[in-house]
């Protein structure tokens, strides 16, 4: 399914989505920059200098994801250490650069743009930022970040190999020095001046290394986006297509969600009805070979790219099962529909408690919830537990529609931004269809649309929120399909607020019943078991093991039957 050439559509999204005259809006999941479990997972109990040396060692090995995690953990312990924050930023620049150059659509489409088109692309991105970003932004920080991107790229083999394979270290160092001088003398009164700075850097790169303009201008384009916030990003053709597939809830592939681990790719999700699910793969299995090639040593993007392909083609995999056995199988790529309701069942027949797990907010989610609730009511459900743990968000209008099913009247969420159509208030339509008691389970990974739904139900006293404080992603992203290239821009255009005008950004939703979100390794006997080690996600939704669900069930039994 390819949707690169679509014009801007009429959606607004914050991990969710609302109707506006802007393009599609998407609220990104918490953070995509960390990959696998690494030595960074070690406890930081041996002092800041040892943590710094660990991070530097990971940098020397070009293990940027692990270095990022090391420095983030170190900053949590020693927030005043500016050396950690400097190293963290440098590693993030390297990480994003490597990901760009492992993106086939970046290399095959964007790097091949003619000079004039890459200039137009950079100017268009700056224009979108100036006109639509949630806060006014001076241009100088955007240009400075572009210069930093380019200076880091000149130290990175993946950039030099593609764009300047014959460059000598002396000429590279000369160019880096020129860029530092340019950075120190920066003055950018308007967008035309910003483009002139980028072109001046391009001319220096051509003079010093024979670099063409396009790779230089692309670093400035990506740098402008990265300078804004964690959720704004430049979307390559493939990334834009992936995002539309997430919004639609369908794609062509194997039906797996992956995380990089030292020996391969670990399955963290298997989509019901997909090829992997039909082959019996489960969360916790690891892919160790793809088409006969060992996965260990490949980047997450490289390995994932080898799994992708057109509908009807096959791929041979070697799987390390959770029981340590090895399984070889061939999977055929095909169309996969992603279900956002991943579990729906009665968890307490005597009390009539139903349980629904919602993994995201996509176009079909409200209809899926309707079907799940109706089915559970037919089985005798009188109380609903809605599980939003690990739910990163999705479409704003879908979150509003689902909240509207529970809330009789009043505000559900409001958004505020600079551009026209970004400041809106969404209200219940006065026809709430579900009046049963509700318990909503959340954790630190419940973000954006999840927070809108949980916060609205909490502010209207329509549900009891159980678990951990949520992520705190309170911003709206709009998706722009760019006119100057087959690419996109995911731009923060507004912030959203609860019915009681609480800002979600960096605050999240605080539970009514705070409980550490764990799945216990042994059956739940009481709150003390909340500290047991986690097993696997298949135990989520089982009140014998799921501490948070067990707490919600206890609360439902002690509840005043007259309270709704």
Catalytic residues: 448, 459, 473
Tokens of 533: 């080690």
d(CA 234, CA 221): 8
Tokens of 522: 């042994």
Cα dihedral sign for 470, 472, 476, 478?
Answer: negative
Tokens of 393: 């968000």
Residue that has been written with the tokens 């493939």 in this structure: 238
Cα dihedral sign for 343, 344, 345, 346?
Answer: positive
Q: What single-letter DSSP state applies at residue 528?
A: G
Three-state secondary structure call for residue 182: helix
Maximum CA extent, the chain: 79
Whole-Å CA distances, 558 to 85, 193, 314, 530: 48, 66, 54, 20
Among 362, 447, 459, 463, residue whose Cα is nearest residue 406: 463
287-313 in b/e form (b: 16+ CB < 10 A) is bbbbeeeebeebbbbebbbbbbeeeee
Residue count of the chain, please give it.
564
β-strand pairing of 250-253 with 334-337? antiparallel
Asked if 87 and 59 touch (Cβ cutoff 8 Å), the reply is yes
* Cα 47 to chain centroid, rounded: 31
Whole-Å CA distances, 339 to 51, 225, 237, 366, 397: 42, 31, 25, 11, 18
* Residues paired with residue 12 on neighbouring β-strands, in sequence order: 18
User: Using CB atoms within 10 A of its CB, is residue 234 exposed (0-12), middle (13-18) or buried (19+)?
Assistant: buried
Among 172, 124, 88, residue whose Cα is nearest residue 8: 124
């Amino acid at each position: 399914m390819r949707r690169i050439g679509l014009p801007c559509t009429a959606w607004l999204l914050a991990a969710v989505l609302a109707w506006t005259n802007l393009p599609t809006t998407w609220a990104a999941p918490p953070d995509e920059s960390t990959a696998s479990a690494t030595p960074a997972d070690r406890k930081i109990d041996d002092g800041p200098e040892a943590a710094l040396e660990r991070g530097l060692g990971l940098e020397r090995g070009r293990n940027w994801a692990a270095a990022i995690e090391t420095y983030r953990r170190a900053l949590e312990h020693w927030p005043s250490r500016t050396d950690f924050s400097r190293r963290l930023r440098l590693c993030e620049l390297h990480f994003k650069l490597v990901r760009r150059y492992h993106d086939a659509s970046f290399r095959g489409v964007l790097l091949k743009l003619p000079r004039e088109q890459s200039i137009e692309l950079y100017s268009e991105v700056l224009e979108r930022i100036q006109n639509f970003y949630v806060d006014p932004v001076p241009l100088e920080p955007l240009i400075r970040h572009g210069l930093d991107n380019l200076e880091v790229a000149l130290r990175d083999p993946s950039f030099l190999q593609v764009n300047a394979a014959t460059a000598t270290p002396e000429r590279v160092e000369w160019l880096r020095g020129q860029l530092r001088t340019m950075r120190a003398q920066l003055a950018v009164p308007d967008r035309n001046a910003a483009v002139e700075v980028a072109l001046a850097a391009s001319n220096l790169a051509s003079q010093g290394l024979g670099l063409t303009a396009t790779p230089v201008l692309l670093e400035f384009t990506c740098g402008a986006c990265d300078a804004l916030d964690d959720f704004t990003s430049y979307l390559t053709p493939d990334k834009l297509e992936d995002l539309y597939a997430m919004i639609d809830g369908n794609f062509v592939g194997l039906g797996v969600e992956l995380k990089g681990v030292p020996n391969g790719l670990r399955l963290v999700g298997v989509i019901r009805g997909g090829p992997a699910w039909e082959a019996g793969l489960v969360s916790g299995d690891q892919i160790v070979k793809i088409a006969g090639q060992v996965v260990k040593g490949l980047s997450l993007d490289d390995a994932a790219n080898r799994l992708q392909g057109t509908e009807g083609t096959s791929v041979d995999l070697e799987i390390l099962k959770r029981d340590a056995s090895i399984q070889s199988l061939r999977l055929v790529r095909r169309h996969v529909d992603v279900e956002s309701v991943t579990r729906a069942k009665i968890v307490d027949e005597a009390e009539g408690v139903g349980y629904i797990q919602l993994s995201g907010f996509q176009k079909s989610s409200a209809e899926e919830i309707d079907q799940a609730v109706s089915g559970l009511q037919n089985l005798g459900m009188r109380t609903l537990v809605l599980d939003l743990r690990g739910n990163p968000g999705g479409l704003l209008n879908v979150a509003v529609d689902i909240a509207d099913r529970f809330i009789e009247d009043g505000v559900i969420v409001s958004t505020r931004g600079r551009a026209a159509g970004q400041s809106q208030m969404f209200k219940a339509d006065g026809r709430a269809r579900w009046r049963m008691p509700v318990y909503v389970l959340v954790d630190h990974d419940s973000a954006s649309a999840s927070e809108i739904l949980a916060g609205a139900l909490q502010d209207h006293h329509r549900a009891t929120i159980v678990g951990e404080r949520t992520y705190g992603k309170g911003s709206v992203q709009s998706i722009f399909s760019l006119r100057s290239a087959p690419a996109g821009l995911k731009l923060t255009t507004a912030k959203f607020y609860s019915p009681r005008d609480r800002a979600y950004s960096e605050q999240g939703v605080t539970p009514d019943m705070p409980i550490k979100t764990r799945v216990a390794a042994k059956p739940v006997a009481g709150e003390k078991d909340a500290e047991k080690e986690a097993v696997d996600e298949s135990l989520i939704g089982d009140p014998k093991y799921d501490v948070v669900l067990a707490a919600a069930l206890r609360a439902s039994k002690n509840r005043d039957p007259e309270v709704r």
